[in-house]
Structure 1
């Protein structure tokens, strides 16, 4: 009898970053979806460290990790699964505009009322709503 290889999925740690005007920081990817800043967890890295590093790399914003908001499995393309981990994130200074990195096609700041109409996975929308309502955000 063969021993089946267990399925493993990459882990992507994302951050819900809300600026001083109450707008969520989002990035548009190559699939034309809006997504939260963040990325792949590296070997030996803590998830809270990963999200801060990725936000700095993708937007040039310094941040501090807040509470864990959600985890969910996403299938960006058929047959590929990614474990998404989202944190609420406190930006350290949002007076300067975020800078678009080479990893994404577009960057934007969106008010809470704009989020439902955006093309993005429901898990991201759920995490955004959770952070807006979270007492630790204030």
Structure 2
């Protein structure tokens, strides 16, 4: 019997904080998620997240440090490898949600814990808030 590796799509997500609030998008499962999307063949993850944030929220960003990598089990037979980056906003315009999501929202660090979203996203968000806070002091 030959080895059959598990294959997972890779989704690259960005934590973008503007005026103390993180950008989140509400998906078809009525969960909040970080902006980002599927890594394309030959694409660098940092380029992917910048492209996806521009497509999904109309925000131009500079991709910063890698925050986390984790496997998200959506439902039986559907798992995704999630890569999260901290990102810096390069614009002052309000986010504009694309057709891919129901709504865009900007949330404070304190509001994040009560939102319906995977714990991995919450961990990445809190990590980026902590790094930015440490840089500010």
Instruction: Identify whether the pair has TM-score above 0.5, normalized to the shorter chain.
Output: yes
Distance verdict in 2 for CA 1:70–1:99, change over 3 Å: same
Distance verdict in 2 for CA 1:13–1:137, change over 3 Å: farther
Where do 5+ consecutive residues of structure 1 fail to align? none
Where do 5+ consecutive residues of structure 2 fail to align? none
- CA distance in 1 between counterparts of 2:31 and 2:135 reads 25
The answer to whether the 8 Å contact 1:15/1:86 transfers is yes
The answer to whether the 8 Å contact 1:48/1:65 transfers is yes
The answer to whether the 8 Å contact 1:63/1:92 transfers is yes
Ranges of 4+ aligned residues in structure 1 off by more than 6 Å: none
**Mapped pair 1:18 → 2:14:** no
Q: How does 1:60-99 map to 2 (within 5 A)?
A: 60-93=58-91, 95-99=92-96
Aligned length: 135
Match of 2:5?
Answer: 6
